[in-house]
């Protein structure tokens, strides 16, 4: 009887350790996406336009341009 509990405890420990890493991967994927402000579909966080409604996300475009200008020391 004690052997069964030992095996069950070891199994539960293994499953618990495996599940510890699953939420971190899920959270990482969520952080890499956002909602399109026009159609509310999920798109990549660094997208310059929405692949569903084809609208240009000007804030992202402006941030990319500013980043490129800083990199080239134009600002």
- Tell me the per-residue pLDDT of 17-60, one tens digit each, with 9 for 90 and over: 777 776 655 555 556 888 999 999 999 988 888 999 999 888 77
**Nearest-angstrom CA–CA distance, 62 and 33:** 18
Q: What is the pTM of this model?
A: 0.48
Looking at residue 27, what is its pLDDT? 57
Looking at residue 48, what is its pLDDT? 87
Token pair recorded at residue 40: 């509310």
Task: Characterize 25-51 residue by residue with b for buried, 16 or more Cβ atoms within 10 angstroms of its Cβ, and e for exposed.
Answer: eeeeeeeeeeebeeeeeebeeeeeebe
Phi, psi of 43 (to 5 degrees): -130, 170
């Amino acid at each position: 009887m004690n052997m069964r509990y030992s095996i069950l405890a070891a199994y539960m420990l293994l499953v618990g350790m495996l599940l510890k890493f699953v939420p971190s991967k899920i959270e990482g994927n969520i952080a890499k996406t956002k909602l399109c402000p026009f159609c509310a579909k999920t798109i990549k966080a660094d997208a310059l336009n929405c692949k569903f409604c084809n609208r240009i996300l000007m804030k992202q475009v402006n941030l990319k341009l500013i980043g490129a200008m800083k990199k080239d020391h134009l600002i």
